[in-house]
Amino acid sequence: MAQEFKEKTITVNLRAVFAKPTTKRAINSSHVLKKLVRKETRLKELKISNKVNELIWSRGRFNAPRKMTVKVIAEKGNGIIMLPEEKYEAKKDKKDQKGKAPEKAKEEAKKTEEKVEAKKTEEKKEAKAPIKEKATAKAEEKK
């Protein structure tokens, strides 16, 4: 069984991509990359960073790279595939943010409710005003 790790650098040979039709090489290379990294690291879920995706597509749809050196960061059974020069910043736990986030959300909800109520009252006033004007205009015509 594979050893556990936090960070690992792997060189992946993407020769399997070139067995596919030329029009689908860049599309399929991300699938092949995930498959080979999953086999090497035994991680359940893998996500590809934007930089790796840009590298795959940098030469166009037809000319995918033959080899790639990537860095895999393992985190709670999931992995992130990045370029070796990319820096990784771990996300903060949601437990730390629980106390702060609901207060801000409540404040924002109150503000939006106030705005909606203000708009409704303005619309009602505007709707009533033309009716009064029409009624006065008709009364003047009759005179």
> Residue 100: what pLDDT?
60
Question: What is the amino acid identity at position 93?
Answer: D
Q: Both 99 and 39 in a single domain?
A: no
Q: Which domain holds residue 78?
A: 7-89
- Residues 20-46: tens digit of each pLDDT: 999 999 999 999 999 999 999 999 899
Residues across the chain: 143
As given in the structure block, the two tokens for residue 105 are 């959300």
Could you tell me if 81 and 119 lie in one domain? no
Residues 78 and 40 grouped into a single domain:
yes
Asked if residue 2 belongs to a domain, the reply is no
Within 8 A by CB and 6+ apart from 46, the residues are 34, 37, 38, 72, 78, 79, 80, 81
Using an 8 Å Cβ cutoff, are 66 and 16 in contact?
no
Of the candidates 1, 3, 29, the residue with the CA atom closest to the CA atom of residue 15 = 29
* pTM, rounded to two decimals: 0.61
Intervals of the chain under pLDDT 70: 1-3, 93-102, 128-138, 142-143
Answer yes or no: is 1 within a domain.
no
Starting at the edge strand that comes first in sequence, how are the strands of the sheet with 78-82 ordered?
7-13, 67-75, 78-82, 45-48
How many structural domains does the chain have?
2
Same-domain status, 11 and 78: yes
Whether residues 80 and 133 fall in one domain = no
Looking at residue 81, the DSSP 8-state letter turns out to be E
